[in-house]
Each structure stands twice: as C-alpha cells, then as structure tokens.
Homo-oligomer: A and B are copies of this chain.
Amino acid sequence: MKFTVIMKSLNWETFSWKKEALFGTIRDCKLAYKTFGKLNEAKDNAILFPHMYSGTHKAMEIYIGEGMALDPSKYFIILPNQLGNGLSSSPHNTPFPFGRGAFPKVRISDDVRAQHKLVTEKFGINTLQLVVGWSMGAQQTYEWAVRYPEMVKRAAPIGGTAKNTPHDFLFTETLIEAITSDPAFQDGWYEDHQQVHRGLRRHSRIWAVMGLCTEFYKQEQWSRLGFSSLDDFLVGYWDNWFLPMDPNNLLCMAWKWQRGDVSRNTGGDLKAALERIQAKVYVMPFEEDMFFPVRDCKAEQEMIPNSELRVIPSLWGHFTMMGFFEEDKNYIDAQLKNLLSTPV
C-alpha cells in the first residue's frame, strides 16, 4: 500500500441537501491508493477504479488479473481509496479535535478532485483509458466523465447513478439513523467503534434487506457460500462485513453518497452535465438492484451521447459486484473487455 500526502489544508466547499453552504478543511489530507501494472512511457495506459460505500480498494482487486479486462500486464490500474473510507483521510484517523464527530462533510466531487491531483500531478497522466466503479464508485465515475470529459476515454458506471434519487437518499438516511440513534454513538465522540455495535448491527440488517433482492433469499442463495442458515448468513456475511467498520467513517461516506450529483457542474441541469461526457460509456445497472434500479440508470443513459445500457443479471442485486458467484464476475469482466476493445 502506498500513501501520499497530495493536498495540504485544502478547503472543501460543499453544500448540504438543504442547500446551506458548508465549508470545512481536511488538514494534511491524505489519499491512499494502490496501483497494479506499469505506466507506459506515453502515459496513456491508465485505468482508474474508485470503490463503493464501505470497505476499501481491496474488495475490487478481484477484477484485476492477467487475462482479465483489467490486465496489469497491459494497463496501469489505479485504485484510489475514498476520503472517509479509513485509509484515506477519514474521521477515525484525523487527530483530535478535527476528526471523529468533527470531520468535515465531503462530496463525491472532492474525491474526484483529489484523484485528479493524484493522476495528473503525481503520475503526469492526461488520459484515462477507462474509469470504472461500482455504486459510490459509479458516482465517482460519472463525476470524472462530466468534470474532466477530455481525459476520460471510456467509462463504466456499474450499479449507480449520476444524480442520486430521492428514494436512494431516504434509504441512506435509514442507514445513518440506524447508527446515530445508538446512544453509544455519542454524536460521534465514542471512544471505541465497537461500542457502537448495536447501531452498526441495525445498519447491517437494513443492508441485508436492500443490498440483495427478494428472490436471493427465497432461493436461499446464501447456501452457495456455505452459510448454514439465514441467521448464519446475517451474522457471518452482513454483520461480519459492517461491524468492524468505524461508524463516523461510514457516516462520512453515507452523507457523500446521498448527495452525489453531477449536475452540480452545470447549475442543476442534469442533461447538460451528461451531454458533456465525451467517453464511450457502458451504463451497467444490476437487474435486481433495489435502490439503483435499472429504470433510474436507463433514464440517465439515454442522456449520454455515446452510451449503451448493459444490464447485469444476478440475484445478488446491488451486491453482485462483490463477485461471490464466478458467473457474475465473468459477466462483468466480459463487458469491461468489450468496452476496452472498443476504439475511441
């Protein structure tokens, strides 16, 4: 893992849902990232692969390998970690009194601006062959394609939207409330994140409802992963994924997720924002996604000039990208291969 300080005392300008101005400063802002492969001399073989809510770049490494679309023998693949994810500057790793409950609000566009500095200033890259990301990674992908259209040759937003929907906002709000309502949360000033385990568990269980789909549970697809019962799956998968995480970090990402919106680049005009995209785009929703449904993704795809809708079929719903089923991983990989082989 490489860490680098790429911004010092940068001012982050953000606006909350209710439009009041918010300003904050992340002191000694750090962006953690990992790379695979080698940047060629022309510096034109780079791929950027930002990640989703919760977790780190690590979960996405399953899509990188020789013979796969993201082939490190061919491409220089950069996996940035989200601000707030626990590796990059985050509530839990920012020293008192600026961290934890006092960490500033961060936006998708803040991440993308930080990644832009990394890509251009650290690596001297001006062209990205592909920006690909899932969920909040899709939000970052869209932001890249709209904000720096001339840099992005291809884009694959997977299971996410360019402008978050009100329903998705409300869903995320229930996740936030699940955590903040735990008395142990103490406005973010808990001593140890494990004290907030009750709130984290509620948060995990809401994910269990919305993260997959009705049919996954009906068919007991969890048994394919070796879980012995539904309870075993709830504890062994969902709780096990979310409970080790820091509540403030999750809340930082959740706030950011709620407000993902490329139309902030064009005064609120989503169509104008999406028409700025020069990349060849595969819009890839999951057929069974409960909160980034195909319908919402399709409506955006239709506004993007050089784009195609490629629906991913899997009972893993929004969590298909975790690639637990080999066929899902292969399906997504095949789409990315196809996109990367499209001349632009």
Contacts and interface: CB of A to CB of B under 8 A. Distances in A.
Contact of A295 (B170, B205, B214): B214
A217 B181 contact: no
Most buried by B among A177, A198, A213: A177
A296 interface: yes
B165 A218 contact: yes
Contacts of A181: 181-182, 198, 202
A142 interface: no
A217 B296 contact: no
A149 B260 CA distance: 53
A217 B215 CA distance: 24
**Chain A interface, >50% SS class:** helix
A183 interface: yes
Interface of A: 165-168, 170-171, 173-174, 177-178, 181-183, 198, 202, 205-206, 208-210, 212-218, 220, 230, 234, 290-291, 293, 295-296
Given A208-B170, A209-B171, A214 B183 contact: no
Contacts of A217: 165-167, 170
B170 A218 contact: no
Given A183-B183, A214-B165, A291-B214, A205 B296 contact: no
Most buried by B among A198, A214, A290: A214
Contacts of A168: 214
Contacts of A198: 181
Nearest to A198: B181
